Structure 1
Amino acid sequence: MTINSLSDQVPFTTKDGSTIRSILDRTNAPVQNQSLAEAMVPVGRPTERHYHQLSEEFYFILEGAGRMEINGEEREVKPGDAILIPPGAWHQITATETLRLLCCCAPPYAHEDTYFK
């Protein structure tokens, strides 16, 4: 059985500029097909616009507010919103209030699968 505590995970900055704590991924559990992380995006700071060739992502907003852009379409997001980001979709999130969200990737998040312009 694998149980990881969020408070035990060390934060790091991803290639898109968000700060995450991996809750379950290949680095801290016998994960094969997905990853789960908590991400923080400071107010006024967007992530860098990017896409993942392989990973499908879900964002689930826990705290704060922001603007989500996927392939040129923008929507306001708030706590309780779940966002689907398909593989290959250009995306960026901008915090209008400091954002805390869960990010699930399948296959698991990898720096090598993050692409910019």
Structure 2
Amino acid sequence: MKTCYADIVPYITKDASEIRELMHPGTHCVRKQSLAEAKVGPGKSTEHHVHMKTEELYHVTSGAGEMRLGDETFPISPKDTVLIPPGTPHSVRNTGNEPLVMLCCCAPAYAHEDTTLV
């Protein structure tokens, strides 16, 4: 199974990030996880939220930002990877002048129903 980036239409998630689902069970053959590219514009933030079932990995590919994870806040930059355990409130803020771009791996796959704004 292969996807083509140009063929995937981005959408806005419940947390206000722009997502492009690179692989997702709802569309592709993958069964137990999803992989998406997330973009947060300069000066923008995602809504603080939590997933009770999903474990996430965020891998920063470009831009600069700040990650709020539980009670901790720290800078993120290209090549950083962050683990977000289920039940941990989190959000990101773009602190740079270009889009903050991250790859987001979710297991089980991302679902709007598992996103609760806090």
State the TM bucket, normalised to the shorter chain: over 0.9
Question: Paired residue for 1:106?
Answer: 107
Q: Measure how far apart 1:28 and its partner are.
A: 2.0
Runs of 4+ with >6 A deviation: none
Which residue of structure 2 lines up, in the alignment, with residue 37 of structure 1? 36
Cα displacement (A) at 1:90: 0.2
**Separation in 1 of the partners of 2:104 and 2:59?**
7
Q: Secondary structure at the match of 2:49?
A: coil
Q: Which runs of 5+ in 2 are unaligned?
A: none
Q: Give, in whole Å, the separation in 1 of the partners of 2:35 and 2:72.
A: 25
Aligned residues: 116
* Alignment TM-score, normalising by the size of structure 1: 0.96
TM-score for both structures, normalised by structure 2 = 0.95
Give structure 1 stretches of 5+ with no counterpart.
none
Cα RMSD of the aligned pairs, angstroms, is 0.7
* 1:32, distance to aligned residue in structure 2 (A): 1.3
Amino acid at match of 1:111: H
CA distance in 2, matches of 1:27, 1:87: 21
